[in-house]
Amino acid sequence: MKDFKKIMLGMQAQSKTYLSRLYVDKFTKNPELLEDEKIYIYRSLSFWFQGTGWRNAEKIIMMVLLPVKASVADVIPVGTYLLNRLAPMIQAWSEENKNDDKAREKAQFFVQNTGNRMLRRSGMTYNEAKGGFVLRMLFQVPLINAVSVNGKAAYRSVADLLNLIEECITTTDAQAKEAYVRTYRRQQRIRQFMKENGYCAFVANGSILPREKDGNEPMRGATPFVAPKELEVLIDLSETGVSDGESEQGASVDGAWKDRQIIRGMGIPRGITVITGGGYSGKSTLLDALEAGIYDHVPGDGREYVLSEESALKVYAEDGRPVSGLDMSAFFRFLPGKSLLDFSTDHASGSVSQASNILEAVGGGSQLLLIDEDKSATNFMIRDQMMRLLVEDEPIIPFTERVQELWQEKQVSTILVIGGSSEYLRLADQVILMKDYKPHVITERVKELLKLSAESRQWQVKAGSMSSEAALAETWESYEPATWQFSRRLLVKETSQPFLFFRTVETENEKKVILDEYSADVTMLTAMTSHEQLCTLTVIMEHLLTDLSGAEHEILENVKAFLEELLTRGKTGSIMPETQCWFYEEIRPLDALCCINRMRGVTFK
């Protein structure tokens, strides 16, 4: 700390560009980072700095090494707990010292928020070589008259902050920390159980699925989830895999199944599942919870043990989205004036957009499609008896004709929320009726009704009250098996320069990614819910669109490699304005693929 104090006091009233002395050997226009030689010590904490650029030299990155160790398997839950504990305290402390108007006389510190999910984040990483977690913060150095460094104030603020962090770490609630680790480990055991036993989703008894309005908190007074007996499964959560006794499962919003070795809940088998019910019965709430189940949630969220296949993707009709270079033959017999095998459009219709979304999801490796009838294109989802009779030359192959093929040939499961049509009932492996927010299995009842309906049609044909043509129209049409091959390699724009760059890289209203003339509307990529995830997505797009060797690799492969570097090292050469994002949060490569597919102006190989 003496070295840090000496440097800061020596900068008193100096130009803010001299702040580079905190992280480089000497002042130079082309500084070489010497991180290991610029590590400072404060009691049990180590800290160091990185610059963010000459334009805003007073904004620097401060890293603090926390003397907290974790096994490789526990890095995510422990890191999430630490950030959840530190972030509110640091933000509250920084808020108390907030600058008035545009003054910069007081130091400001910004840390990453965690929300209710356990994920990898750039704001809290684990450095095994250094033996602890690294907290990454934005440090806005106090200035005199917004020009020169206030070294004395900077030193005092850093010392106060480090004291606060050390106190917080040394008074860590061991039980709360253990709750995060225990919950995460159990989530992984449930996911393993799902894979080994053929389930695409699991919803524990006692889960609270509804959220408070405009928030992520569990709704107060909501009905706890109770699995129907027909789909109830029992999962051993003990460390050894051998339970030492079963205990009852109850609702919990504050502690999440603390001492239980056995957990019960609804296991949804892989295949085709229809969720039906009347209005306001909880159908869409269940589907939303299943979408959120791709993430592991923190204790107290109410959905700790609502888990889904990690590649699950909710698919919508998305009128107006662009489509580039897709083979649409799986869902269309022909497209007037367009190539069916290499289809492109700047403004897709509802049916074309939903078909494209499914093709891209399957091509990106999704093993579970989530579809809500209310947000789908009707002419893509179904074609009933009357329309089959009236429209003979229909180009659309409805999803009813492919949903079983996707499961049987590609092992892609589908969960559909259906409230207005019975077309999917005969295709479903299981049917769940939501009534008063409680699920009931009605698969056998549906089979009985379908059998009675078929017998009724046969009787009507014999009696002459229904033509054989009309009866035939209710049977499925015959289509050739689809081609589900999918390859995506990006062709970046040609240049004579040794590298590409953008003048503008930004997000707009949390809904759009913009890179000069390229833009992508990501409103319907609802699996991504945080600002930091949108920042991650934007920087990945910048990387893909400036990678001159991009055509040599599949997009998914390129994204996986870059994402690993981004989350471990923080920013990697992006020109995205620092005012928009300082931190990054893990996303799936599948989400990045979905974004680049929506990017206007791109070309694929």
Kindly write down the DSSP assignment for every residue of 537-555, as one continuous string: HHHHHHHHHH-TTGGGS-H
- The verdict on residue 423 lying in a domain is yes
Sequence-distant (6+) residues with CB within 8 A of 152 are 8, 9, 12
- Residues 84, 41: one domain? yes
Sequence-distant (6+) residues with CB within 8 A of 49 are 22, 23, 38, 60, 61, 62, 63, 139
- Residues 168, 22: one domain? yes
pLDDT score, position 427 = 95
pLDDT score, position 337 = 84
- Residues 326, 440: one domain? yes
pLDDT score, position 30 = 44
Q: What gap in Å lies between CA 458 and CA 525, rounded to an integer?
A: 45
As given in the structure block, the two tokens for residue 233 are 């499964």
- The verdict on residue 289 lying in a domain is no
- Residues 566, 463: one domain? no
Residue that is last in its domain, among 172, 198, 222: 172
- The verdict on residue 254 lying in a domain is no
The residues with which 417 forms a beta bridge, in sequence order, are 275, 372
- The verdict on residue 223 lying in a domain is no
Q: Helix/strand/coil (H, E, C) string of 282-314?
A: CHHHHHHHHHHCCCEECCCCCCCCEEECCCCEE
- Residues 506, 461: one domain? no
- The verdict on residue 590 lying in a domain is yes
585 close to 536: Cβ distance less than 8 angstroms: yes
- Residues 162, 51: one domain? yes
- The verdict on residue 283 lying in a domain is no
pLDDT score, position 101 = 61
- The verdict on residue 238 lying in a domain is no
Residue that is last in its domain, among 133, 150, 172: 172
Encode burial over 440-476: b for 16+ CB neighbours within 10 A, e otherwise. bbbbeebeeeeeeeeeebeeebeeeebeeebeebeee
Sequence-distant (6+) residues with CB within 8 A of 246 are 234, 261, 262
- The verdict on residue 191 lying in a domain is no
- Residues 503, 591: one domain? yes
414 close to 371: Cβ distance less than 8 angstroms: yes
- Residues 517, 451: one domain? no
As given in the structure block, the two tokens for residue 162 are 């480090």
Nearest to 369 by CA among 270, 480, 437, 477: 270
253 close to 207: Cβ distance less than 8 angstroms: no
* 157: containing domain: 2-172
Nearest to 571 by CA among 592, 540, 547: 540
CA dihedral 83→115→368→417, nearest 10 degrees, is 160
Residue that is last in its domain, among 110, 140, 172: 172
- Residues 418, 499: one domain? no
Nearest to 69 by CA among 78, 77, 80: 78
- Residues 515, 416: one domain? no
- Residues 526, 469: one domain? no
- Residues 440, 495: one domain? no
Which helix (DSSP H) or strand (DSSP E) does residue 438 occupy?
strand 438-441
As given in the structure block, the two tokens for residue 6 are 């000496």
Judged by DSSP in three states, 118 sits in: strand
pTM (two decimals): 0.90
Q: What gap in Å lies between CA 100 and CA 474, rounded to an integer?
A: 71
Q: What is the mean pLDDT of each run of 10 residues along the chain (605 residues)?
A: 91 89 63 59 93 82 95 96 95 80 79 92 93 94 89 94 94 92 96 97 97 87 96 86 40 46 95 96 96 97 97 97 95 91 95 97 97 96 85 92 96 96 94 96 95 67 57 63 88 76 86 93 94 93 89 91 81 63 91 96 90
The total number of structural domains that make up the chain: 3
Sequence-distant (6+) residues with CB within 8 A of 400 are 381, 382, 383, 423, 424, 427, 476
